[in-house]
Amino acid sequence: LSPVFVEFFVSAPGKVILHGEHSVVHGKVALAVSLNLRTHLRLQSTSSGDVRINLPNIDTFLSWEITALQPLLAGCGGEWRWIFELDGDLLKRLREFTGISDDSTDTRSMAVLAFLYMYLTVFAKSLASITVSVWSELPTGAGLGSSAAYNVCLSAALLSARGAISSPLTPQQESARWSKEEMELINRWAFMGEKIIHGNPSGVDNAVGTWGGFLRYHAGNITPLSWVPILRILLTNTKVPRSTKVLVSGVKDKINKFPSIMNPILESVSAVSCTCEKTLTEMAVHGPSPEHYNILEELIDINQHHLNVMGVGHSSLDTLCRVTLARGLHSKLTGAGGGGCGITLLRPETDTSVIQSTIDELKACGFDCWETSIGAPGVQQHSSAALSQDILKILNSY
């Protein structure tokens, strides 16, 4: 099943945590959701004899001759292992080959390693010359799942090019999704890429990137929710830097300091996630109503207070909440807190001019701000016609 000449496009969404960040670490329920800021990938089969990767977001343009890559696979154990666990030896050989040391964790190094590892393990005995170009709407390192979206795109594209999964797009379609079993496979390979980049990831990010929509995450179990609506939001990046590690351990310290005060709050956050899930399911099944939106807004406000109680608030996030609330819009931090990103729920009837003035004011505060949606589809294959001119232009320039 080796393709003669093929070009195709895939995309995968980023991710935000809707409810449950921080308390999920302590065994509580979290809701993760796909963010419709997407990573787009174009794969071309070529006859160049090399493998190229173009990552304009991070100014990375590299290529390797297949003949140089082939030896790295010599002496690998059974290929069957690669679906279940990371091949430490192969990774080591890759690091030596690319000159990326064990300590290097910068974005470029990680992206390259994940790509080469996935390419080699997917194509294995039939290394083919391809060119992969990726363009993302997602900021990196902001907790929005940009690495997972990248890994999911790579996984879907490579598996498809290799023929391990189908090319679901029919000529009439603009976008198409893979089958349930194929998505499982895409997700497993993407998870490998995540392990390379993050060490010990939860798997939520790549699950969201693969399946899209809303996911419940609880005690290590990931459950996609079947019936969910798409919600319009503002996504704001305060750009205030913070250490996720420090914030997570700060929460742990506070729980240990005031257990009788903090443990009920974790419980309350779990209940917020569950109540939100019920409300979303109702919205999708019965159709959304104003009361549904009222409840979603109340839950957002409650959880934002709980996150402040946990100690992961920040004045920049207070500003986001205040600016949006002045226009009747409700916001909460998403992810680690201490700065970083926040989401603001928009109602169907929210005026465009209100949205615009909100975005303007948030940008005036020094924040980045996008109008987008959550609950959007996971990984998809697209026709070139489905892509915006901007993105198509970027991807086609390599």
- Kindly list the residues in this chain that would bind its own copies in the complex (CB under 8 A): 258, 260-262, 264-265, 267-268, 271-272, 274-275, 298-299, 301-302, 305-306, 308-309, 318, 322
Nearer to its own copies, 203 or 339 (CB): 339
- Tell me how far, at minimum, the Cβ of 268 lies from its own copies, in Å: 4
Nearer to its own copies, 265 or 346 (CB): 265
Q: Which long-range contacts (CB under 8 A, 24 or more apart) does 252-258 make?
A: 252/25, 254/310, 254/311, 255/26
Using alpha carbons, list the distances in angstroms from residue 54 to 39, 60, 63, 123, 158.
Answer: 13, 6, 9, 19, 15
- Tell me how far, at minimum, the Cβ of 264 lies from its own copies, in Å: 4
Nearer to its own copies, 27 or 264 (CB): 264
Whole-number Å distance between alpha carbons of 195 and 146:
14
Catalytically active residues are: 147, 205
Q: Which helix (H) or strand (E) holds 322?
A: helix 315-325
- Tell me how far, at minimum, the Cβ of 107 lies from its own copies, in Å: 36
Using alpha carbons, list the distances in angstroms from residue 340 to 10, 210, 309, 313, 381.
Answer: 28, 24, 17, 10, 31
Whole-number Å distance between alpha carbons of 16 and 227:
18
DSSP string, 266-296: HHHHHHHHHHHHHHHHHHHHH---HHHHHHH
Q: What SS3 state is found at 220? A: coil
Nearer to its own copies, 86 or 309 (CB): 309
Q: Which helix (H) or strand (E) holds 136?
A: strand 130-136
Number of H helices, E strands in the chain: 12, 13
Nearer to its own copies, 53 or 255 (CB): 255
Whole-number Å distance between alpha carbons of 25 and 23:
5
Nearer to its own copies, 298 or 371 (CB): 298
Among residues 205, 293, 286, 279, the alpha carbon closest in space to that of 21 is found at 205
Among residues 320, 330, 396, 326, the alpha carbon closest in space to that of 364 is found at 320
- Tell me how far, at minimum, the Cβ of 322 lies from its own copies, in Å: 8
- Tell me how far, at minimum, the Cβ of 297 lies from its own copies, in Å: 12
- Tell me how far, at minimum, the Cβ of 131 lies from its own copies, in Å: 51
